[in-house]
Amino acid sequence: MAHVLLRHRDIPNLNQLDVYQKNGGFEAFKKAITAMKPNEVTDVVKASGLRGRGGAGFPTGMKWSFIDNKNWPHYVVANADESEPGTFKDREIMESNPFQFLEGLAIASYAVGANAAYIYLRGEFWQVAALLDEKIADMEKAGLLGEKLFGSDYSLKIYTHLGAGAYICGEETALLESIEGKRGQPRIRPPFPPAYGLYGKPTIVNNVETFTNVPLILANGAEWYKSMGTPDSAGVKIFSLSGRVKKPGNYELPFGTTFRELVYNYGGGILDDRPVKAIMPAGASSSLIVVDDKALDTPMDYASVRTLGADLGSASVIVIDDTVSIDWVINKTIHFFKHESCGKCTPCREGNHWMMHLTERIHSGEGSQNDVSLLLNVAKQMQGKCLCALGEFATMAVVTGIERFPQDFQKAVKA
Amino acid sequence: MSLAQKYPNEVNQILAKYPPEHKRSAVMPLLYLAQREEGYVTKDALKDIAQMLDITETDVASIVGFYSLYHDHKAGKYRMQVCTDLPCALRGADKFLADLCGNLGIQVGETTPDGLVTLEAVTCLAACDKAPMFQTQGPDGIQYHENMTVDKTLELIEALKSAGKEVK
C-alpha cells in the first residue's frame, strides 16, 4: 500500500517544493482557504476520526473546535519535541516529507484562525530546524506563506523554536512555558491551551504526525481516511520499532495491525532468534506487556492494547527478549525519569529520587525483597498525585515490571 | 562586546520571531548564540541577555540550569553525548560507551588531555533504531552520529582534531 505519511519512501525528492507540488502538494491548503470556511475544515478533520499522535490520542477535530473565539489572537503550535525513548518518527517526517507536515500545520492554522504558528523542536534537532527554516523560506517565496494567501484576507507566518534538552517540554503546557522563555514546567490545568495557551491566548498544540495526516484527509475526504484502521482508531500510524529486533525502524501501518506482524514481518524477528519476553508499546512511559501468543496476536489500536494492561501511546514499540532482566529495564526507565522530572511537584521530584536509590540498590545485587516491596510502594504512592503525566509515566514500568515479572526481581536481590 | 554588537543580524532575526511585548521568548535562541564561541554561557553573557530582554540575571541563569544543552562551565571543544537510554542500551550502547572510555583513557564526564572532547552519557536522542549513537555539541552546533562503532568514533575524533588545526 502506498504511504500516507512516509510518502517520501514512494516519491523521490518529495522534500523539494516543486516535487511536492507536482504530487498535489498545497492543493488542500488552497482548497481550504479559497473554498471552505474555517469551521468546515475542522468538521472534516472531526469526521475523519483523526486522533492526536503524540500519545494521548485525543480527537483532533474536537480539540480544534474548543478554540476560544472570544479571545484573540490565536496560535497553533507543532509539538516536535519528540523525546520519548523509543520514538523517532517525527524526525523522519520533518527531514524527508517536511512540506506535508508544514501544509498540515498551515491548514490547522487557517481552521482555528491563527496568523502565527510555532514549531517547537527539541534542541537536539538543530539540523532539522535549519532544514525547516529553509523549507519555510521556500514557501514564503512561492506565496504559500505570508500576507493575503491565494487572494484571500488570510495571512500566516510559521516560526521554528528550538528547545534545549528537556523531555518535559513534550508536555504541552511546559512546551508553551518554554516558548515564553521560561523553565519548561507544566501549568496547572484547566484552563487548557485552547482557552489559555501561548502568551495566555487560545492555542492549539498538536504533534507533528497529527498535522501530517491533515492535507490528505482534506484532499481525499473523511470517509477515505476512516476506511483505514479500526472503528476506534481511524487511519494509519507510524510505529517506531526498536530494541532487540533485527530491523528496527519506522513502519507506517494501519491501526489494527498485530504486534506479531510488526515484530516478525516488518521487524524481521528477534536478534539471535530469541523469544520475545516483553513489549513496551508506548516507549519508556509504557506498561510492560507480558508477551505470549495472545499478546502477539493483539491488534495495535488504542482499545485493543488496553486489554493487555497497557496503552498504545505514541506507538514507540520497544521489544525486549529473554536475555534481558526486567530489573535492568526499570533501572533504565527510572534513571530517565529521575533526570527529566522538572521538579515542580513533590510526588514526582521526590518519588523519582527515591525510586532511583532503590533501583540502584536492587540492580547492584545489594537489595533485598523488602527493597522491591518498598519500590513498588513508592511507585504506587506517586500514582494519581502528580501535576502532569510525567510522574505517572515514571511509575508504569516499575509497577507492571515488579507485578508481572516478579521472578526477575527475586533473582536480582540477595537471598 | 555584547551579542547585539557581535551578531547584529542574528539577534534581530531572533527578536523578530516573537511579539515585541513577549521578547523574553528570545532567551533560548540567544543563549545558543552566547554559547557559540566559548561552549558555555559566561557571566557577561547572562548579564547581556538579561538587559536585552528586561529580565533578571537570575531568570536567565535558571534557564541555563534547567535545560541540558546549556552549560555554565567550560568543557572540551566538543561534547560527545552518547545516548545510553533503554532502546539504545538494548542495542549495545552501554558497552559502546565503556569501550570508548577505555580507548580514550577517560571516564564519562571527563575531557581528553588535548581539550578536544568531553564524553557525556545522555538521555534519549530520538535515534533508537540507529544505536549506538551520539551527538556532538560544538562551535558548529549539534550533529548526530548514528550506527557508530568505536573505530568510527576514533576516526571522527581525528577528523575533528585536524579540522581544528586548519582553522588555526
Contacts 24+ apart (CB under 8 A), B102-108: B103/B150, B103/B154, B104/B157
Nearest to A126 among B25, B28, B141 (CB): B141
Which residue range forms the structural domain that includes residue B55?
3-66
Residues B62 and B104 placed together within one structural domain of the fold: no
Q: A66 CA to chain B: closest CA distance, Å?
A: 24
| Residue B133 placed within a domain | yes
- β A236-243/A316-321 pair status: parallel
Looking at beta carbons, which residues of chain B come within 8 Å of A123? 67-69, 142
Residues B99 and B161 placed together within one structural domain of the fold: yes
- The domain boundary, picked from B44, B66, B88, lies at B66
Residues B34 and B99 placed together within one structural domain of the fold: no
pLDDT number for residue B37: 82
- Averaged confidence pLDDT in chain A: 96
Residues B120 and B145 placed together within one structural domain of the fold: yes
Looking at beta carbons, which residues of chain B come within 8 Å of A174? none
pLDDT surpassing 50 at residue A405: yes
A85/B85 touch (CB, cutoff 8 Å), yes or no: yes
pLDDT surpassing 50 at residue B137: yes
Residues B117 and B41 placed together within one structural domain of the fold: no
Decide if B141 touches A, using CB distance below 8 A: yes
Nearest to B19 among A86, A91, A199 (CB): A199
| Residue B142 placed within a domain | yes
pLDDT number for residue B168: 38
Nearest to A243 among B27, B69, B87 (CB): B87
Residues B54 and B89 placed together within one structural domain of the fold: no
| Residue B100 placed within a domain | yes
| Residue B135 placed within a domain | yes
CATH of the domain at B113: 3.40.30.10
Decide if B123 touches A, using CB distance below 8 A: yes
- Distance, in Å, from the CA atom of A183 to the CA atom of B59, rounded to the nearest integer, reads 9
pLDDT surpassing 80 at residue B164: no
Q: Which residue of B has its CA nearest to A323?
A: B90
- The domain boundary, picked from B22, B45, B66, lies at B66
- Distance, in Å, from the CA atom of A79 to the CA atom of A353, rounded to the nearest integer, reads 28
pLDDT tens-digit profile of A257-271? 999 999 999 999 999
Are the C-beta atoms of residues A193 and A203 closer than 8 Å to each other? yes
Residues B149 and B83 placed together within one structural domain of the fold: yes
- Distance, in Å, from the CA atom of A6 to the CA atom of A89, rounded to the nearest integer, reads 9
pLDDT band at B167 (very low <50, low <70, confident <90, very high): very low
Decide if B69 touches A, using CB distance below 8 A: yes
- Higher per-residue confidence, B163 vs A104: A104
A304-324: average pLDDT: 96
A80-103: average pLDDT: 97
pLDDT surpassing 80 at residue A320: yes
Looking at beta carbons, which residues of chain B come within 8 Å of A83? 123-124, 126
pLDDT band at B165 (very low <50, low <70, confident <90, very high): low
| Residue B72 placed within a domain | no
Residues B10 and B50 placed together within one structural domain of the fold: yes
- Averaged confidence pLDDT in chain B: 94
pLDDT number for residue A415: 63
pLDDT surpassing 90 at residue B70: yes
- Distance, in Å, from the CA atom of B116 to the CA atom of B125, rounded to the nearest integer, reads 22
Q: Which residue of A has its CA nearest to B13?
A: A159
Residues B134 and B155 placed together within one structural domain of the fold: yes
A41-58: average pLDDT: 95
pLDDT band at A55 (very low <50, low <70, confident <90, very high): confident
With a pLDDT cut of 70, the percent of chain A lying above it is 100
- The domain boundary, picked from B45, B66, B87, lies at B66
User: Which of A72, A83, A84, A88 best probes binding to B when mutated, by most B CB atoms within 10 angstroms?
Assistant: A88
Cell 548564540, residue? Answer: B33
Q: A281 CA to chain B: closest CA distance, Å?
A: 12
Query: Into how many domains does chain B fold?
Result: 2
B29/A161 touch (CB, cutoff 8 Å), yes or no: yes
With a pLDDT cut of 90, the percent of chain A lying above it is 98
Residues B57 and B87 placed together within one structural domain of the fold: no
| Residue B160 placed within a domain | yes
Are the C-beta atoms of residues A318 and A280 closer than 8 Å to each other? yes
Looking at beta carbons, which residues of chain B come within 8 Å of A82? 126
| Residue B73 placed within a domain | no
A275-293: average pLDDT: 97
Residues B58 and B87 placed together within one structural domain of the fold: no
A284/B144 touch (CB, cutoff 8 Å), yes or no: no
Residues B42 and B94 placed together within one structural domain of the fold: no
Residues β-bridged to residue B101 = none
- Distance, in Å, from the CA atom of A407 to the CA atom of A327, rounded to the nearest integer, reads 10
Q: Which residue of B has its CA nearest to A339?
A: B123
Domains of chain A, each with CATH number or no CATH: 7-226 (3.40.50.11540), 236-321 (3.10.20.600), 326-412 (1.20.1440.230)
The total of other beta-carbon atoms located within 10 Å of residue A41's CB is 25
Q: State the pTM of this model.
A: 0.96
A318/B69 touch (CB, cutoff 8 Å), yes or no: no
